[in-house]
Amino acid sequence: MLQKTLIIASIISLFAFGSARAQYALDVGVNIGGANYLGEIGGGPGLARDWILDMELNQTRWNPGVFARYRLDYNWALNFGLQYIRLQGADSLTENPNRFTRNLSFRNDVIELGTTVEYYFYNQPDVGRTGRYLLDFKAYAFGGLAAFYNNPQAQLDGQWVALQPLNTENLDKKYSRIQMALPVGFGFYYTFSRIHRFGLSAAWRFTFTDYLDDASTLYPDPLELESEEAQLLSNRTAEVASHPLAAELASSFVKGGLRGNPDASDSYITIGFQYSYVIRGKSKSFGRRKNYLYGRRRGKSGRARF
């Protein structure tokens, strides 16, 4: 119910924003791309690193979304976006003996609502210098704040089971499914015929949680867990104990042993293509404002008609 409420509220806010600002420098659009996760589970053969070198590219999953962008002036804009992001990882894919022996895995469908500030460090309002301003190019950096709903799951007997209700680490207080993130990144776009924008953006989301993957601290006493499902999904080392990579380590994955790394929060990366449609103004004041936004002076041959 909470997930549905967040999605509905997000969609309403985006459309309300678009309607209120339609007479200004506004474009609305969609993005489609991929997302990947950085955390304790999976990764390269060495020690876990909070960097893209530890990322499993074959675990990249989809990231569709919608957004509305409002240009404040020539160099600044606000971007409001709603994203659906699939994250996943598996220790079975790594050659690191400790992580392989731990044998945890997860998937997480993230619903994110965020606001970022875009700074345009490069502006070319007339690509090709034709004097017609039919193609422009902009490159930008951005940063902001996002709230997201997440629900890590693991597969057991062919079924996906939500992990947060099971409290697999026997925490005094279960972690929240609503979390915050700081998205930072860069992007660029071309504007064709003054109304169609095509671009690419990449972002790194720094979060304040270590439970995107449901693993953070120590193995609990299995007898203190609330259900048989929790016991089975808390410690899965027995499933690979006979494997040569795990044979010598399996006996150390017991109560009090390390299950994750609480000193480093999880994060995720997105990269995707964007298309947006520029909503043109209907007033003379809008025309003057657009000239200011795009760095052009009005004249008989150069009047902006965005």
Q: What is the average per-residue pLDDT within 11-23?
A: 46
19-73 confidence digits (pLDDT tens): 444 444 899 999 999 999 998 898 766 655 556 667 788 889 999 999 999 999 8
Q: What is the mean pLDDT of the chain?
A: 84
> pLDDT tens for residues 195-212?
999 999 999 999 999 999
Please report the pLDDT score of residue 282 as a whole number: 54
- Residue scoring higher pLDDT (103 or 46): 103
Q: What tokens were used for 2?
A: 């909470």
- pLDDT: which is higher, 306 or 151: 151
Task: Give the distance from CA 144 to its chain's centroid.
Answer: 12
Q: Which residue has the tokens 């079975």?
A: 92
User: Tokens 């390269």 label which residue?
Assistant: 44
Amino acid of residue 153:
Q
Tokens of 244: 């040569």
pLDDT tens, residue by residue, 245-297 = 898 899 889 999 999 988 889 999 999 999 999 997 654 433 444 454 545 54
Specify whether domain 2-21+29-293 bears CATH 3.40.50.720: no
Tokens of 75: 């160099």
Question: pTM for this one?
Answer: 0.81
The domain segmentation of the chain, as residue ranges, is: 2-21+29-293
What's the pLDDT score for residue 47? 58
Closest CA to 42 of 174, 205, 215, 180: 215
- What single-letter amino acid sits at 196? H
Neighbouring residues of 101: CB distance < 8 A, sequence distance ≥ 6: 91, 237, 240, 241, 245, 246, 249, 250, 253
Least confident of 9-13, 49-53, 147-151, 244-248: 9-13
Spatial separation of the C-alpha atoms in residues 140 and 277, rounded to whole Å:
18
